[in-house]
Protein backbone atom coordinates (compact mmCIF):
# COMPACT_ATOMS: atom_id res chain seq x y z
CA UNK A 1 0.00 0.00 0.00
CA UNK A 2 1.10 3.59 -0.56
CA UNK A 3 0.29 6.97 0.93
CA UNK A 4 1.70 10.49 0.69
CA UNK A 5 3.24 12.04 3.80
CA UNK A 6 4.65 15.57 3.62
CA UNK A 7 5.00 15.28 -0.16
CA UNK A 8 6.79 11.91 -0.05
CA UNK A 9 5.38 8.70 -1.50
CA UNK A 10 5.51 6.14 1.31
CA UNK A 11 5.10 2.37 1.04
CA UNK A 12 3.57 0.57 4.02
CA UNK A 13 2.03 -2.71 5.13
CA UNK A 14 -1.20 -2.97 7.14
CA UNK A 15 -2.26 -6.37 8.48
CA UNK A 16 -4.49 -7.84 11.19
CA UNK A 17 -7.03 -6.43 13.62
CA UNK A 18 -6.85 -5.36 17.25
CA UNK A 19 -4.71 -2.85 19.19
CA UNK A 20 -2.36 -0.93 16.89
CA UNK A 21 1.31 -1.98 16.79
CA UNK A 22 3.62 0.06 14.53
CA UNK A 23 6.95 -1.38 13.37
CA UNK A 24 9.94 0.87 12.59
CA UNK A 25 12.86 -0.73 10.73
CA UNK A 26 16.58 -0.04 10.95
CA UNK A 27 19.02 1.86 8.76
CA UNK A 28 19.50 0.38 5.28
CA UNK A 29 16.59 -1.98 5.87
CA UNK A 30 12.91 -2.06 4.88
CA UNK A 31 9.56 -3.08 6.31
CA UNK A 32 9.47 -6.44 4.51
CA UNK A 33 12.25 -7.77 6.76
CA UNK A 34 9.58 -7.72 9.48
CA UNK A 35 7.52 -10.31 7.60
CA UNK A 36 7.83 -12.90 10.38
CA UNK A 37 6.69 -10.36 12.99
CA UNK A 38 3.76 -9.33 10.79
CA UNK A 39 2.59 -12.93 10.47
CA UNK A 40 2.95 -13.64 14.18
CA UNK A 41 1.71 -10.40 15.78
CA UNK A 42 -1.21 -9.89 13.37
CA UNK A 43 -2.92 -12.89 14.99
CA UNK A 44 -3.92 -10.51 17.80
CA UNK A 45 -2.85 -7.02 16.76
CA UNK A 46 -3.37 -4.49 13.98
CA UNK A 47 0.22 -4.40 12.69
CA UNK A 48 1.47 -1.55 10.52
CA UNK A 49 4.95 -0.81 9.24
CA UNK A 50 6.34 1.52 6.59
CA UNK A 51 9.50 1.90 4.56
CA UNK A 52 10.97 4.99 6.17
CA UNK A 53 11.84 7.89 3.82
CA UNK A 54 14.99 7.05 1.87
CA UNK A 55 14.60 3.29 2.26
CA UNK A 56 12.87 0.44 0.43
CA UNK A 57 10.05 1.63 -1.81
CA UNK A 58 9.58 5.04 -0.18
CA UNK A 59 10.79 8.37 -1.53
CA UNK A 60 14.00 9.92 -0.31
CA UNK A 61 13.77 13.27 1.53
CA UNK A 62 15.03 16.29 -0.39
CA UNK A 63 17.44 17.29 2.38
CA UNK A 64 19.40 15.31 4.99
CA UNK A 65 17.32 14.35 8.01
CA UNK A 66 18.22 13.98 11.68
CA UNK A 67 16.41 11.80 14.23
CA UNK A 68 13.86 14.52 15.01
CA UNK A 69 12.82 14.64 11.34
CA UNK A 70 12.09 10.91 11.38
CA UNK A 71 10.06 11.44 14.58
CA UNK A 72 8.00 14.14 12.88
CA UNK A 73 7.44 11.86 9.90
CA UNK A 74 6.14 9.01 12.09
CA UNK A 75 3.77 11.37 13.91
CA UNK A 76 2.42 12.73 10.61
CA UNK A 77 2.02 9.17 9.30
CA UNK A 78 -0.07 8.24 12.35
CA UNK A 79 -2.15 11.41 12.26
CA UNK A 80 -3.00 10.91 8.61
CA UNK A 81 -3.80 7.19 8.64
CA UNK A 82 -4.91 6.56 12.22
CA UNK A 83 -6.19 9.89 13.59
CA UNK A 84 -8.67 8.27 15.97
CA UNK A 85 -6.23 5.88 17.69
CA UNK A 86 -5.82 6.68 21.37
CA UNK A 87 -3.19 4.03 22.19
CA UNK A 88 -0.37 2.84 19.92
CA UNK A 89 2.45 0.42 20.71
CA UNK A 90 5.75 0.64 18.85
CA UNK A 91 8.43 -1.89 17.95
CA UNK A 92 11.72 -0.57 16.64
CA UNK A 93 14.82 -2.27 15.30
CA UNK A 94 18.17 -0.47 15.30
CA UNK A 95 17.49 3.06 13.97
CA UNK A 96 13.77 2.46 14.46
CA UNK A 97 14.55 2.24 18.15
CA UNK A 98 16.28 5.62 17.97
CA UNK A 99 13.12 7.16 16.56
CA UNK A 100 10.95 5.66 19.31
CA UNK A 101 13.30 6.81 22.09
CA UNK A 102 13.52 10.36 20.70
CA UNK A 103 9.75 10.51 20.17
CA UNK A 104 9.00 9.47 23.75
CA UNK A 105 11.78 11.67 25.12
CA UNK A 106 10.69 14.86 23.38
CA UNK A 107 6.94 14.63 22.76
CA UNK A 108 4.18 14.75 25.36
CA UNK A 109 1.05 12.63 25.07
CA UNK A 110 -0.84 15.81 24.17
CA UNK A 111 1.59 16.60 21.33
CA UNK A 112 1.40 13.05 20.00
CA UNK A 113 -2.36 12.79 20.26
CA UNK A 114 -2.10 9.22 21.57
CA UNK A 115 -0.71 7.22 24.47
CA UNK A 116 2.15 4.73 24.12
CA UNK A 117 1.34 1.94 26.62
CA UNK A 118 4.42 -0.19 25.91
CA UNK A 119 7.36 -0.47 23.51
CA UNK A 120 9.64 -3.16 22.12
CA UNK A 121 13.21 -2.28 21.17
CA UNK A 122 15.25 -4.94 19.40
CA UNK A 123 18.99 -4.50 18.84
CA UNK A 124 18.22 -0.81 19.15
CA UNK A 125 20.53 2.08 18.39
CA UNK A 126 20.68 5.15 20.61
CA UNK A 127 23.81 4.74 22.72
CA UNK A 128 26.61 6.75 21.10
CA UNK A 129 29.52 4.34 20.60
CA UNK A 130 32.91 5.00 22.13
CA UNK A 131 35.50 4.74 19.31
CA UNK A 132 38.00 1.93 19.64
CA UNK A 133 41.72 2.57 19.16
CA UNK A 134 41.46 1.23 15.61
CA UNK A 135 38.49 3.47 14.82
CA UNK A 136 40.24 6.51 16.27
CA UNK A 137 43.31 5.84 14.13
CA UNK A 138 41.08 5.52 11.06
CA UNK A 139 39.42 8.85 11.88
CA UNK A 140 42.84 10.54 12.23
CA UNK A 141 43.94 9.21 8.84
CA UNK A 142 40.72 10.45 7.25
CA UNK A 143 41.20 13.94 8.72
CA UNK A 144 44.85 14.00 7.59
CA UNK A 145 43.97 13.16 3.96
CA UNK A 146 40.98 15.50 4.00
CA UNK A 147 43.12 18.44 5.14
CA UNK A 148 45.74 17.53 2.55
CA UNK A 149 43.17 17.59 -0.27
CA UNK A 150 41.82 20.94 0.91
CA UNK A 151 45.19 22.64 1.48
CA UNK A 152 46.63 21.53 -1.87
CA UNK A 153 43.53 22.74 -3.71
CA UNK A 154 42.76 19.28 -5.10
CA UNK A 155 39.35 19.23 -3.39
CA UNK A 156 38.38 22.50 -5.13
CA UNK A 157 39.58 21.38 -8.56
CA UNK A 158 38.03 17.93 -8.23
CA UNK A 159 35.21 17.91 -5.62
CA UNK A 160 34.63 14.20 -6.18
CA UNK A 161 37.90 13.37 -4.43
CA UNK A 162 36.47 14.34 -1.03
CA UNK A 163 33.38 12.22 -1.60
CA UNK A 164 35.53 9.25 -2.61
CA UNK A 165 37.62 9.74 0.52
CA UNK A 166 34.47 9.67 2.68
CA UNK A 167 33.34 6.46 0.99
CA UNK A 168 36.73 4.82 1.55
CA UNK A 169 36.88 5.63 5.25
CA UNK A 170 33.14 5.41 5.98
CA UNK A 171 31.02 2.41 6.95
CA UNK A 172 29.33 0.03 4.51
CA UNK A 173 26.02 1.80 5.22
CA UNK A 174 27.65 5.13 4.37
CA UNK A 175 29.18 3.85 1.14
CA UNK A 176 25.89 2.31 -0.03
CA UNK A 177 23.80 5.43 0.62
CA UNK A 178 23.01 8.37 -1.64
CA UNK A 179 24.55 11.77 -0.82
CA UNK A 180 21.41 12.91 1.02
CA UNK A 181 21.17 9.71 3.05
CA UNK A 182 24.91 9.72 3.81
CA UNK A 183 24.55 13.12 5.41
CA UNK A 184 21.44 11.87 7.20
CA UNK A 185 23.42 8.90 8.55
CA UNK A 186 26.09 11.19 9.95
CA UNK A 187 23.44 13.29 11.72
CA UNK A 188 21.65 10.22 13.09
CA UNK A 189 24.61 8.22 14.42
CA UNK A 190 26.27 11.20 16.09
CA UNK A 191 23.29 11.90 18.35
CA UNK A 192 23.46 10.38 21.82
CA UNK A 193 19.94 9.50 22.96
CA UNK A 194 20.90 8.28 26.44
CA UNK A 195 19.58 11.51 28.08
CA UNK A 196 16.07 10.69 26.77
CA UNK A 197 16.00 7.08 27.97
CA UNK A 198 14.83 7.78 31.56
CA UNK A 199 11.67 9.25 30.00
CA UNK A 200 10.79 5.83 28.56
CA UNK A 201 8.70 5.07 31.65
CA UNK A 202 6.21 2.63 30.13
CA UNK A 203 6.94 -1.13 30.11
CA UNK A 204 9.75 -1.65 27.58
CA UNK A 205 10.88 -5.02 26.27
CA UNK A 206 14.49 -5.05 25.04
CA UNK A 207 15.40 -8.03 22.83
CA UNK A 208 19.07 -8.42 21.92
CA UNK A 209 21.35 -10.82 20.11
CA UNK A 210 24.45 -11.52 22.19
CA UNK A 211 26.55 -11.54 18.99
CA UNK A 212 25.35 -8.12 17.84
CA UNK A 213 28.37 -6.08 16.71
CA UNK A 214 26.46 -3.08 15.29
CA UNK A 215 24.65 -2.25 18.54
CA UNK A 216 26.40 -4.49 21.10
CA UNK A 217 24.68 -6.17 24.02
CA UNK A 218 26.28 -3.62 26.34
CA UNK A 219 24.00 -1.00 24.72
CA UNK A 220 20.95 -3.04 25.68
CA UNK A 221 22.27 -3.48 29.21
CA UNK A 222 22.77 0.27 29.53
CA UNK A 223 19.26 0.96 28.19
CA UNK A 224 17.81 -1.46 30.73
CA UNK A 225 19.46 0.55 33.52
CA UNK A 226 18.29 3.90 32.14
CA UNK A 227 14.68 2.95 31.38
CA UNK A 228 12.70 2.55 34.62
CA UNK A 229 10.38 -0.27 33.45
CA UNK A 230 12.67 -2.02 30.94
CA UNK A 231 13.49 -5.70 30.85
CA UNK A 232 16.23 -7.22 28.69
CA UNK A 233 15.88 -10.60 26.95
CA UNK A 234 19.03 -11.98 25.31
CA UNK A 235 19.02 -14.41 22.38
CA UNK A 236 22.18 -16.49 22.40
CA UNK A 237 23.96 -16.79 19.05
CA UNK A 238 21.89 -14.06 17.37
CA UNK A 239 23.40 -10.96 15.78
CA UNK A 240 22.06 -7.52 14.92
CA UNK A 241 18.93 -9.00 13.32
CA UNK A 242 17.84 -11.19 16.23
CA UNK A 243 14.28 -11.36 14.87
CA UNK A 244 15.66 -13.07 11.75
CA UNK A 245 18.50 -15.07 13.31
CA UNK A 246 16.20 -16.90 15.74
CA UNK A 247 12.66 -16.10 14.69
CA UNK A 248 11.07 -18.77 16.90
CA UNK A 249 12.67 -17.57 20.14
CA UNK A 250 12.17 -13.92 19.23
CA UNK A 251 8.44 -14.50 18.66
CA UNK A 252 8.20 -16.52 21.86
CA UNK A 253 9.65 -13.59 23.85
CA UNK A 254 7.51 -11.07 21.98
CA UNK A 255 4.42 -13.25 22.46
CA UNK A 256 4.98 -13.40 26.20
CA UNK A 257 5.18 -9.60 26.40
CA UNK A 258 2.16 -9.00 24.13
CA UNK A 259 0.18 -12.07 25.25
CA UNK A 260 0.17 -13.76 21.83
CA UNK A 261 -0.01 -17.54 21.76
CA UNK A 262 2.58 -19.40 19.68
Q: What is the pLDDT of residues 76-118, one digit of tens each?
A: 999 999 999 999 999 999 999 999 999 999 999 999 999 999 9
d(CA 231, CA 203) in angstroms, rounded, equals 8
pLDDT at residue 129 in the model: 75
Mean pLDDT over the full length of the chain: 89
Q: Delineate the domains of the chain, giving CATH numbers in brackets.
A: 2-128+191-258 (3.40.50.1820), 133-186 (no CATH)
pLDDT at 170 > cutoff 60: no
Starting at the earlier edge strand, list the strands of the sheet with 230-235.
Answer: 2-5, 8-15, 46-50, 20-24, 88-93, 119-122, 204-209, 230-235
d(CA 85, CA 122) in angstroms, rounded, equals 24
Share of residues in the chain with pLDDT > 70 (%): 82
The closest alpha carbon to 10, from 46, 48, 55, belongs to: 55
The reported pTM is 0.85
Q: How many CB atoms lie within 10 A of CB 70?
A: 23
pLDDT band at 136 (very low <50, low <70, confident <90, very high): very low
Tell me the average pLDDT across 237-242.
97
Question: pLDDT by residue (tens digit) across 3-48?
Answer: 999 999 999 999 999 999 999 999 999 999 999 999 999 999 999 9
d(CA 242, CA 235) in angstroms, rounded, equals 7
pLDDT band at 139 (very low <50, low <70, confident <90, very high): very low
Tell me the average pLDDT across 116-143.
73
pLDDT at residue 130 in the model: 64
Amino acid sequence: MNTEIDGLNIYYRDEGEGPLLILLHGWGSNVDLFDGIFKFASKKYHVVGMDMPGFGKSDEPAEPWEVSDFVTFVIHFVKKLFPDEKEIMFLGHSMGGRVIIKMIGTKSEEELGFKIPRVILTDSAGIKPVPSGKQSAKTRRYKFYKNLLIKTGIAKISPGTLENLKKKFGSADYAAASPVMRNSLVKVVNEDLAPYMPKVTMPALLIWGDQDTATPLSDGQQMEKLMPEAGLAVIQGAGHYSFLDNQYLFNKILGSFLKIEM
